[in-house]
Amino acid sequence: MLIKKSKKERQQLLLETIEENPFVTDEQLATKFGVSVQTIRLDRMELSIPELRERIKDVAERNLENEVKSLPINEVIGEIIDIELDKRAISIFDVKEEHVFQRNGIARGHHLFAQANSLCVAVINDELALTVRSNVVFIKPVRAGDRVVTKAIVRETNTEKNRTYIDVISTVNNETVFKGEFEMYRTKGEGEQK
């Protein structure tokens, strides 16, 4: 196992080792590569790899940020840019890296659904609006960088049944990428508020 590698090989391996396990000390690395601790330190210097404690701190800090970041599936998904209560509404949603499958770069369906669903809730002029049922179609893949424009149009409100029916169409560059029908529950009929 302890066949002496060249400096370059060792440094490459060093990078990989630390990448994989940032918690390893110089001492352990020295033993692993069969060189002195000083050599490891020279290597780290050349590769500008920080010392153990700094590495650990970086990991800790980086992930403390992530915790804050992982909450954004929160209020309204997308930004509402136009709304006429109980009639129609438009929102835009900029697709970012975190919304797509890293494997193929295509947006996860539930983000498009979330934008449409949020918009339906928003367009209803009522204290309580809940989604009862929906039929949706994902027509064309959406990718990071795309700006999704979603329009919700109220088709019908049935006051006896406390229901509102909404049609939703999402487009990217004027091409339809998503369509849906939403049946929403509401406590009061339109215009009956307050």
Residues forming contacts to DNA in the complex (CB under 7 A) are 6-7, 10, 25-27, 35-36, 38-39, 41-42, 44, 50-53
Closest separation between CB of residue 35 and its own copies, Å? 26
Q: Which does 135 bind (CB under 5 to 8 A by kind): its own copies, DNA, none?
A: its own copies
| Residues 4-63 within binding reach of its own copies (CB under 8 A) | 22-23, 53, 56-57, 59-63
Alpha-carbon distance of 14 to 136, in angstroms, equals 50
Write the DSSP symbol of residue 95. -
Q: How far is CA 83 from CA 86, 97, 160, in A?
A: 9, 28, 25
| Residues 148-187 within binding reach of its own copies (CB under 8 A) | none
Q: Which does 94 bind (CB under 5 to 8 A by kind): its own copies, DNA, none?
A: none
Q: Beta-carbon neighbour count of residue 13 at 10 Å?
A: 15
- Contact by Cβ (8 Å): 120, 182: yes
Q: How far is CA 29 from CA 19, 24, 51, 78, 83, in A?
A: 13, 7, 12, 48, 61
Residues that bind its own copies (CB under 8 A): 22-23, 53, 56-57, 59-64, 66-67, 71, 73-75, 77, 98, 101, 103-104, 106, 108-111, 113-114, 117-118, 121, 127-128, 130-138, 141
